[in-house]
Structure 1
Amino acid sequence: MNKSNFIQKTALLSIYAFIAFFNPKSLLAQNQEIVQLTGMVVSDDGQTAVPGVHIYVPKYGRGTTSNSYGYFSMPVLVGDEMVLSSIGFMKQRFVIPQGTNGRVNVVFKMETDTVYLENIDITPFLSEKMFKEAILAINIPDAGKMIGNRLDGNALSALMRNMPYDASLNASYYFNQQLYYMQDNYGPRTNPFLNPFNWSKFIKSLDKKKK
């Protein structure tokens, strides 16, 4: 072995040792099986697709995003720990299993991340004391007095005079006018004051009152 070959082999071994020391994960990944991960991301009801979900491998910093139908596909390695995250949903983790024959199909159900906040009462007052004082200072009108003003006789008379006829009153007025017109066609309109029978009844009623 000449000196130049020895120097080349020594340099290559040094480079491999440097890479293995500072990046052992990359050498380990070369020996892992590559798997095509394909999946759908849906909500907890199992029917609604969830778009824009980040699916990534934190260890290597690679990943993808689900499309508008919740679909995604990316190459991964056996043993990779996948993380699924999206705003409004809880994070999920999934480890790529062995013996998949180079392909994994999964449907992920994202659980809704609900955060309950404390109730906050917004008022235009600086303190509760000022709020109570403002409530006590409110001048509430007397309901009975307001009702009495609305039922005043003069006010009701004015409303009656100025109120126009509605549909039923107009129809009633029209039918009455037609009735009077028909009666006038068959003879003169009778005057109740000229009816002798009415006068007889009136006189008898006066005699009963005197008795």
Structure 2
Amino acid sequence: MSRFLLLGVGLIWAQEPIYQLSGMVLSATTGEPIPFVSVRVGRTRRGTVANAEGFYSLPVVRGDTLYFSALGYKRGRFILNEYLTAYQGDTSTGYLYAVHYLVEDTIELPTVRISAIRTPEELKTALLNVPLETQTQVARDNVSPEILAYFLQNLPADPQERLKVAEQRYRDLYYNRTLRPVYPILDPIAAYRLVRYLTEKAQIKREKIYDYWTDD
């Protein structure tokens, strides 16, 4: 039953018409073409890049959503289903045409302070007094406990690293299981107690022998 269901879905997808969509990407403010706009089909790997005149062309199917992005402009979206519903032209030819407008995006740059320097000596002194981070300082900052803790909590674990840790853990477990047991004679405390016991035993034995000959 599942095979027939998958086959039916494949046939329905195969019957979906493919359109060749061609269009222009213009600025909503000036109406001028925007060059080299990135055109991407959502949830797929399909896409293209507009040319220097803002023209693009790529195959699409019903249900696709196109995303337009360019430096200095807000990202635009084009839903093909809505476009086909409102399209007044003939779609039986398989060719569609559209014009897209992108809104300019304001980019805020950091504030730059400009101060007057009277002499070249003052310029040289100012340049020499600019605080610069050395490579040692940068390396020290990169391995600070705060940064390492942040990476540990936010970065996903590396699969290869986790595999190596698991392999090392099982390797250590197997190695420890195959080790021979530790004999008490190798323990310094146990060896001291053994020597002390043998010494006391020998001393008692000598005292008994001395008492035996003394009694006679």
Q: TM bucket by the smaller chain?
A: 0.3 to 0.5
Larger Rg: 1
TM-score normalized with structure 1 length: 0.43
TM-score normalized with structure 2 length: 0.43
